[in-house]
Structure 1
């Protein structure tokens, strides 16, 4: 199905939707349920990891490190969401660079990213173990798309023309 935009037919989901269908084919209802469940489980794992005591502890360590550098942010998101920053600016301010530099140093010093990754992965692995069939459906669907890739590369051996 297409939708007209500026007098041109645009496929459902735009170019990304067309690419998804070209590579992976249409999702069966079973595969779609698997994708939906995987997305929900990923979101739940992320949310659970954010409130995990290990993540809270590493966030406190990072915040302490930041205070030692003259900045007060409860967690990395607070630094990003600081209303002083103009995220649309082509060039960051000196203050933004100073906070970003301190943030990176403190994240590395406390292994914040490693702890966050490990804790979230733990929750994801538990979710996969609790729902073994649905992720298997997604893997099967993605594998079928991967098998189609060599033929698609031969068929579309150049960049597609814009719509």
Structure 2
């Protein structure tokens, strides 16, 4: 499994994670529910011009508003918790763990996003059959979700957005194999050895069998290794080196797929107008 595929799989886990109860057990502690903790510190990349993660987030906000209005017109009560602000930054771990505060608190576990948890619980447990029919629709009537999508995507051509995701995975993997990144990873490994840890790269540290990322338990050792991981990344500038290498790869892919990416850019521009109108 490529690193990009693994990263995507890890991000999916958080969507339906359930807050664990606290514990004083010696092996570790349970994760605490937390508001978004990890700042958007991933370096910018050429693909950002086409990805528009912030637009994806505002599109969700606009859809939420349109659905609320639609449900109200149908006389159906509808009041889900707000969308999590963390969803505005889905790639905050593109190059692995980067924030020392998060590392010291959660180790390699993803911080539990309390806002996302509240919204997930609402849709999983609180939505009634009447509400779900109004939301998703029936044979006789379109649902409010479909109606909101139609409004937001009016005039937006269907583009191969999956292409962009695939290219993003390719650029990440290709950059990782570049000489500069491999050198920086060796320097990172040497830095970790000075702190008593032997790993060939950050991915190996994250996949250490001693911490089960599916369990809420976080040991002191996991937090210590994660903290050293981030510190060594900063010391050898691994994140910067990796981002520079990936930017070079992405510029080459942009030249190769210029026509397809331009269609995505134009579609984003129209979508942005529709979203702004819906939120205005």
Q: TM-score, normalised by structure 1?
A: 0.76
What is the CA distance between 1:19 and its match in structure 2?
6.8
How many residues of Structure 1 are paired with residues of Structure 2 in the alignment?
145
Give deviations 1:104-145, integer Å, cap 9, x for gaps: 110000001111111111101111012211111101001111
Aligned to 2:152: 23
Determine if the alignment matches structure 1 residue 102 to structure 2 residue 231: no
Determine if the alignment matches structure 1 residue 145 to structure 2 residue 271: yes
1:128-143 alignment, distance < 5 Å: 128-143=254-269
Q: TM-score, normalised by structure 2?
A: 0.46
| Unmatched runs of 5 consecutive residues or more in structure 2 | 1-127, 137-143
Which structure is higher in RCO with an 8 Å CA cutoff and minimum separation 6? 1
| Unmatched runs of 5 consecutive residues or more in structure 1 | 1-5, 155-163
Give the superposed CA RMSD: 2.8
- The partner residue of 1:76 within 194, 202, 205 is 202
- The partner residue of 2:251 within 115, 119, 125 is 125
Q: Is the 8 A contact 2:156 2:271 kept in 1?
A: no
Q: Is the 8 A contact 1:38 1:134 kept in 2?
A: no
Structure 1 outlier segments of 4+, above 4 Å: 15-22
Aligned to 2:65: none
Aligned to 1:43: 169
- The 1:100/1:19 distance shift into structure 2, 3 A limit, reads farther
